[in-house]
């Protein structure tokens, strides 16, 4: 079966601290991978997506960055967190050969910046 | 800005009633998808409708698509308490485009 892992599940960090969120995918090769952020009670904002190792597309200018060091690993990072970085971060994958880009989501990481 | 806008933003109905949610979008699409999100969880894909389809069914779900009006509706029949969740539409554009654009969601509450 195809599974998406995200960790940590919850995180509380002080303003100005660094961030590293990890997403790993099992059971599929060459997936498209995505990072979304969801503010409380709101829709999803696409932050980054990747179509392959080392290939990152950024959707929104911000103090976050993403990397894909391995085919099934997608990392979201920040050098210095802002209060506005608080939110629910979701990783998703889509199969490369799926023309309609149906996406499957991980369980999410809830980040609170204080 | 969001491509999809769901309507209503929130909906409360009695268990057993039907729930209808609407989604409007702005640009041309090749497919539209509906997702469900339980509180504090990831999204779950429910159903996909292609741009050349007008209606699709899956269990208690019925989705319609009107490309001339750039709108879609999701009908959940015989609602259950477990249907309580947020529902999002997402649109995909041309083939080869790797992104979906998600709407703002409808919060559905089923009252037992």
Chain A residues whose CB is inside 8 A of the B50 CB are: 100
Q: Note whether A103 contacts B: Cβ–Cβ < 8 A.
A: yes
A76, A66 in Cβ contact below 8 A?
Answer: yes
Distance CA B86, CA B84 (A): 7
Q: What are the angstrom distances between the C-alpha of B83 and each of B1, B16, B76, B78?
A: 28, 11, 9, 10
| Closest residue in chain A to residue B47, using alpha carbons only | A102
Cβ separation of A43 and B95 shorter than 8 Å?
no
Cβ separation of A103 and B100 shorter than 8 Å?
yes
Confidence of residue A100 (pLDDT cuts 50, 70, 90): confident
Residue B2, pLDDT score: 41
pLDDT digits (tens, 9 = 90+) for B30-79: 999 999 999 999 999 999 999 999 999 999 999 999 999 999 999 999 99
Q: Is the pLDDT of residue A14 over 50?
A: yes
Residue B6, pLDDT score: 82
Distance CA B96, CA A55 (A): 16
Q: Which residues, in sequence order, are bridge partners of residue B71?
A: B24, B66
H helix and E strand count, chain B: 0, 11
Cβ separation of B33 and A43 shorter than 8 Å?
no
Indicate the range of A33-37, A40-44, A53-57, A78-82 predicted with least confidence. A40-44
């Amino acid at each position: 079966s195809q599974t998406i892992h995200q960790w940590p599940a919850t995180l509380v960090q002080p303003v100005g601290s660094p961030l590293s969120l990890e997403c790993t995918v099992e059971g599929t090769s060459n997936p498209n991978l995505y990072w979304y952020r969801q503010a409380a009670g709101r829709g999803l904002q696409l932050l980054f997506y990747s179509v392959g190792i080392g290939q990152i597309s950024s959707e929104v200018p911000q103090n976050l960055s993403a990397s894909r060091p391995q085919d099934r690993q997608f990392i979201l990072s920040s050098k210095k967190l802002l209060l506005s970085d608080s939110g629910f971060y979701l990783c998703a994958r889509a199969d490369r050969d799926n023309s309609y880009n149906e996406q499957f989501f991980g369980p999410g990481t809830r980040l609170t910046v204080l | 800005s969001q491509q999809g806008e769901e309507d209503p933003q929130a909906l409360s109905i009695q268990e057993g009633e039907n729930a209808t949610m609407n989604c409007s979008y702005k640009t041309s699409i090749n497919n539209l998808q509906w997702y469900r999100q339980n509180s504090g969880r990831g999204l779950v894909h429910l159903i996909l409708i292609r741009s050349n389809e007008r209606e699709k069914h899956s269990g208690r779900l019925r989705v319609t698509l009107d490309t001339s009006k750039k709108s879609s509706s999701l009908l959940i029949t015989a609602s259950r308490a477990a249907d309580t969740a947020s529902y999002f539409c997402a649109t995909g554009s041309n083939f080869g485009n790797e992104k979906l654009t998600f709407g703002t969601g409808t919060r559905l509450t089923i009252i037992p």
